[in-house]
Amino acid sequence: MEKLFRVLPVLVWVALVVAWTFPALALGVRFELWGIQLALPLLAGAALTAALLLALAGVALLAAIHRHLQVARHRAILVIVILIVPVATVFHYGLKASQAPVLYDVSTGWANPPAIAALSGVRPEDANPLQTATTNRAVQSEHYPDIQTLVLPLPVGEALGRVQQVAIDLGWEIQAVDAASGVVEATDTTFWFGFVDDIAIRVGAASEQGATVDIRSVSRVGKSDLGKNAQRIRTFLSALQS
């Protein structure tokens, strides 16, 4: 235990380095300094290292409390404080990954989902292929039954204008607008990794007075979106009704 107390100052510095590793690796992917294939195993290694450091700090803290060693106790607490947020974040996303369905293409209606048309020319060759009703309808209905076509009590033209404004307010980049067909295509970039997701929104005339709004959100990277596309659609539809 004495050896552990002696290395606590070193553990504090190691904890700082490990804690900064998480955002550094993610931002490196965003700014194309390295690829996600390199970042993911390094992130996993950083998470394991952080967990080990937390365990050592926990043992040192209990021993320091028992022996009434104030300096050692403060150093152990500092290691825990430094690492608790990144470790909790990794645990959070790991839990989401275990619970989220294997989907990366979510739409309000798979009978006739909005087409990714204008964006098809700029999507990378290695981007996820667009999914279909055959692969997605049943899984999405089970996990996201609330994601449905929205009907707005507005003329189609006014609804299309509101769709564009809400997309801009949410920070999306509008890539194309086809007023004749009522289609808006946009992209949304995730903060840390800079992943680009494609969005298509279609505004049509409802059977009664009003307009229908369908939206589709597709991740270019990853076989599971951890629920991000469903969350994005919910946020958009909620803002559209506000």
The domain boundary residue, chosen from 32, 65, 99: 99
Low-confidence residues in the chain, pLDDT < 50 = none
Going by C-alpha positions, the residue among 190, 173, 191, 189 that lies closest to residue 118 is 173
Q: Which contiguous run of DSSP H or E holds residue 205?
A: strand 196-205
- Sequence letter at residue 194: G
> Nearest 5°: phi and psi at 205?
-85, 130
Work out the burial of residue 13: count CB atoms within 10 Å of its CB; fewer than 13 is exposed, 13-18 middle, 19 or more buried. Answer: exposed
Q: Pick from 114, 127, 130, 131: which is nearest to 196 by CA? A: 127
The pTM of this model reads 0.89
The last residue of one of the domains, among 80, 99, 118, is: 99
79 and 12 Cβ atoms separated by less than 8 Å: yes
- Check whether residue 81 and residue 147 sit in a common domain: no
Last residue of a domain, one of 55, 80, 99: 99
* φ/ψ (deg, to 5) at 145: -65, -20
Q: List, for residues 160-215, the tens digit of each pLDDT value.
A: 999 999 999 999 999 999 999 999 999 999 999 999 999 999 999 987 779 999 99
> Based on the domain organization, do 94 and 188 belong to the same domain?
no
Domain that holds residue 118: 105-241
Instruction: State residue 242's pLDDT score.
Output: 85
Same domain, 120 and 233: yes
